[in-house]
Amino acid sequence: MLGMPPKDFDLEVYNVPAELLRETLENIGKVEFVGKQFGVFKLWYKEIEIDVALPRTERKTARGHSGFMVDSDPSLSPEIASLRRDFTINAMMLNPLTGQMHDFHGGKKDLQNKKLRHVSKAFSEDPLRPLRAMQFAARFGFSLHDESVDLCRELIAEAAYLPPERIWTEWQKWSCAPYPSYGLQLLIDSGWISLYPELQAIVDCPQDPHWHPEGDVWTHTLQCCDQASAIASKNNLLAVVRQRLVFAALCHDYGKPSVNTTGHQGRIRSPGHSEAGIKPAQSFLNGIGAPLSLLDYVEPLVREHITHLHGEATERAVRRLAHRLEPANIELWEMLVEADASGRAPAPPSRPALEWLHKAVQLQNHQNRPHPILTGKLMLKMGAQPGILMGKILKSAYEAQLDGCIYDKQSAIAWYQKQRKNNQGN
């Protein structure tokens, strides 16, 4: 480690060239020049990961997030360098050697007021910043300052030039935040919700107040996402599993605008909205650059999110649900149902699918679908010949297993022998 500087050392006038900075950092830990365009070093010291950025000037040269001409300039003063930051809460600086705090733009006040406010007009040069505002709002429970609203709206036209991977990075951070509703509300405040027609469609979409005292689908969805986040934290879910739950909560009622009807005595119904929600969920997730693996989980969760309302939690029903949910599972599904049922404040939170989860745990199908008992290997041992017929028999055997007709190896053998006898008789 480097020694402490002399007492008369003034960091603000001690300009460190890039090469000297790199050599110095290499004496501390592992170093990579990860942000060449923006002059950013990544430093790993023990278990700490640190971004070290050189002061820089930028000139907008093209549309989009990366359309800049960047020049690293170690001679810039901290105040001038801070003008390139996005929000005032990110522009505050602490001199680690002297303990002196620099707050050139009122970041401390904005932090206390839980406001996201742009630092300078340079904010308008990067269309990624409204999405950064979205995930900051979700992470910290902040709202957008009035002065920054217009700048975000001016950037809507440039959103089309953002690369999908950068869009996904911000939405990914949103999904891991404790207050996702704040991020969604910021989309409305900034006008950026217009970029997501699947989300915009549920704003003001009515629901029957008997079942939804909270209001429209948008209000319900905001509450559901916050509930999903709280449930994920309560269950210590891994980040990737948390994403699946929160995005399923976000997408679960996308089908309601297309199927809503008003029936007897003005009651609002949404028949088939689970199935109708799959296509807009696909469109939305593709639009934000989400990985295909996420859609694989969200799609069955959306389709099955009200299954518990249409039957009892019998062993057969639970096994078949576990099968339909794959690659998701009943454990994750029950969390979504809880988020859905609890996103109805002022109605109290509830877990209406808990019986289904308990039954699935008993069957050991809460984290996976039933594994086939009759297998091709077992059939070969009993003299079966490989081919199309074997595949058809295995498929029928698995259906019989889901129905409870096959439940162990002996019952599988007996079922197969009966099928073979019947085929021979025909």
Pull the structure tokens for residue 247: 């995005």
Task: Give CA–CA dist 189/149, Å, rounded.
Answer: 7
Tokens 């162990």 locate to 408
Q: Where are the domains of the chain?
A: 196-371, 378-425
Task: Give CA–CA dist 255/283, Å, rounded.
Answer: 12
Listed residue (116, 120, 185, 196) closest to 156, CA to CA: 196
Question: pLDDT tens digits for the chain (426 residues)?
Answer: 333 444 443 434 445 667 788 888 888 999 887 755 556 888 898 888 888 877 766 655 555 545 544 556 666 788 888 888 899 999 999 887 889 999 999 999 999 999 999 999 889 989 999 999 999 999 999 999 999 999 999 999 999 999 999 999 999 999 999 999 999 999 999 999 999 999 999 999 999 999 999 999 999 999 999 999 999 999 999 999 999 999 999 999 999 999 999 988 889 999 999 999 999 999 999 999 999 999 999 999 999 999 999 999 999 999 999 999 999 999 999 999 999 999 999 999 999 999 999 999 999 999 999 999 999 999 999 999 999 999 999 999 999 999 999 999 999 999 999 988 877 755
Give, as one character, the DSSP assignment of residue 87.
B
CATH 1.10.3210 given to domain 196-371: yes
- State the pTM of this model: 0.87
Work out the angle at residue 253's Cα, subtended by the Cα atoms of residues 252 and 257, and round it to the nearest 5 degrees: 155
